[in-house]
Structures are given as C-alpha cells and as structure tokens.
Amino acid sequence: MKSQINALTSTRAVAAIMVVIHHFGSDLFPFSLSKNIFHGGNIAVSYFFVLSGFVLFISYNRVVISYADYFKRRIGRIVPVYLLALALMICFFTLYKNYTLDGKASKEIFLSMFFLQAYVPSYPLVLNSPAWTISVEMFFYILFPFFLLLLNKNAKAFAAITLVLFIASQAFHLEYYSVRWSLPDSIVDTVFFNPAMHINQFMIGMIGGYLFSKNKLPAERYKWSALILFCCIILLIAFRPENISYQVGLIAPVFMLFILCVAICNPKILNVKGFIFLGEISYGIYILQFPVYKFLEVFNERLVHMPKQFFFYFALFILLLAASLSYRFIEQPLRRKISSLKLNRAS
C-alpha cells in the first residue's frame, strides 16, 4: 500500500491556504463575499489533525520499525522549518517590538523550542502563533505507536475510546465556548489549545486509515462521494451557528469520511502536478506564514505603502516562494540527513 496518496497531498495545500486567508485576507475581495467560510478557515486545522492520523496509520500500519527510528523520521519532517520559523519570529520581535530576553520571553522561547506551548495557559499563541498546532501534533506523534498497537489488536476498543474522548471534548468545549469572553486565560486556552482536547481528531483519522486498509469496494462506488462530502463541509462551515464551535473536532467525522473517499477515488483533478507540489510545500506555507507576513508588513509600511488588497496577494506570492525554497533547500535535505542517521531497528 502506498504511504503517500497524491490526492490527499493536494488537499493539504487547500487547507494551508485557507488558514492563511483566515489570518490575513478574509476581509478582502473575493473572500469577503463568503465571509463565514473564510472567517472559519481556521477549521482547516481540524482537517490537518484528522489527516495526520489517517496518513500515519497507512504509512506505518504494515511497517516494522523501532520507536526511535519512527520518532527520528517525525523530527526530520517537522523540526527544521519549525525552528527556522521560530528563529525568524524571535528576530522580528527583537528588531521591531522591543523584545527582550527577560523571564517571560525566555519562557516563551523555551516552551516553543520544545513544543510545549499548547499545554501552558497564556502561552499557546506566543511568538509564531500557528505553531501551537505543531505542539499538539508532537503529542500525537508520541502516542501514535501505542494507538497503532491498540487499533490493530482491538479495533472496537479503540473506536469506543475515541467515541468517549470525542463526546467529552465536545461537551467540555461547547459548555465554555459561548461564554469564552468572560473566562480567564487558564480556561480559554485549555478549551481551545490543550492537546488533550484535540486527540479525538487524530484518533478519528486513524480509524479512517484503518477503514481504508480494510476496504475492498471498487473506487467506482465512491465516484461522487468526495465531491458531495466537500460540499457538505463547505455548507457546515458557511452556516455554522454562532455559539457552535468546530475547533476541537465536532465535524472531524465528516473530515474523516472525506479523506477516506479521496483516498479511495484518488480524483484526477487532485493529481495535477501543480496541486501536488503545493501540497508538498504546505507545511512551509503553514508554519512560515507569520514570519513572512510580519516582515513584509514592516517593509510595506516603511517603504512601499501597497493597498491592503494588493499587499495580501504580494505577500501570498512571497510566502509560496519562501515555502518552495524552504522545501527545496531545508526540508528535503535535512529530512534526508536526519533519516539517514543510523539507529538500531526492530527486527
């Protein structure tokens, strides 16, 4: 079974650019015409969590590998560009925001360097704010080998645990979501960012991978399912009630079904080389968005004075270029180098 499905790789690009639009362009034309959808672009983070569980399952389900070697591969995939983005944001704050290495700043850097910011209230969004999701992903990576053993040994028990975690996280999140503005950071940051609130999404993705591995139906049976589910997702985002939140995975089961159908059908439109390449650089698009936009904002304010509409598209172009260069000269070489480190493998 292939560990990479090109159509799924392409969907990463859509999700990453949705997050960028959410952060920097949702009020601009043409995104302002569908404000609910693009204001809700951060829901793409939930999609990433589900997709992560799915892809890891199909990548490692039939592979015998040591825990150390597995984690080495995860570090090679995530850490180099993560640390680059963090270093750029530290430089930005030092140069333009009078950032000094006092006790609070040192704590921010320490937590961010070791992927701990999502666990500590008041710190999830420090420095490079999208990086809180990588803190959560690292939590998933640590638990994944144990989840994989459980899912393969007793799928019903795994599904039951996932259901309990799903219900508990939704109940806790939705109880506090409607009154979030009146709550202290200690509760709000736990409700939104703590990895324990998001683990259900990763596990739902793993269940999708398990179903994919067991599927024996022909792709023709799923011909229109991915498109139908995509339309359902757009409608769910566009018409989300004001006091209902999807941010800890309320629609994760729908994402899982969409991912499953895309994986089975492997639509031709998502196998276009340009889309696949954007998917391959999507991690760079996601993690470098704040460094690129923040430095360019200073450049624009001091020298160029582009209108906001033009600036967004200029910055998006530079972000895509930066992500491409990062992928070519940092992600790929360092991933190969780290992956080539000699570790004892399980036989």
- Residues sharing a CB contact under 8 Å with residue 246, sequence separation 6 or more, in sequence order: 40, 43, 46, 236, 237, 240
Q: What pLDDT, on the 0 to 100 scale, is given for residue 3?
A: 59
Q: What is the pLDDT of residues 105-139, one digit of tens each?
A: 999 999 999 999 999 999 999 999 999 999 999 99
Distance of alpha carbon 344 from alpha carbon 347, whole angstroms: 9
User: Using an 8 Å Cβ cutoff, are 87 and 287 in contact?
Assistant: no
Q: What is the pLDDT of residue 68?
A: 85
Can you give the pTM of this predicted structure? Answer: 0.94
Q: Which residues of the chain have pLDDT under 50?
A: 1-2, 345-347
How confident is the model at residue 345, as a pLDDT? 47
Q: Is residue 1 part of a domain?
A: no
Extract the tokens encoding 236: 């769910």
Tell me the Cα Rg of the chain.
Answer: 20
The type of residue at 40 is: G
Q: Which domain holds residue 173?
A: 6-339
Q: What are 133-152's pLDDT values in tens digits?
A: 999 999 999 999 999 999 99
Report the domain count for the chain. 1
In tens, the pLDDT along 22-46 reads: 999 989 988 888 878 888 888 999 9
Is residue 347 in a domain? no
Question: What is the reported pLDDT for 343?
Answer: 61
Structural domain contains residue 321: yes
Q: 272-291: buried (b, 16+ CB within 10 Å) or exposed (e) per residue?
A: eeebbebbbbbbbbbbbbbb
The verdict on residue 155 lying in a domain is yes
Q: Is residue 93 part of a domain?
A: yes
Q: Is residue 232 part of a domain?
A: yes
From residue 139, alpha-carbon distances to 10, 69, 112, 192, 199 in Å are 25, 17, 14, 15, 8
The answer to whether position 344 is within a domain reads no
pLDDT at 1: 40
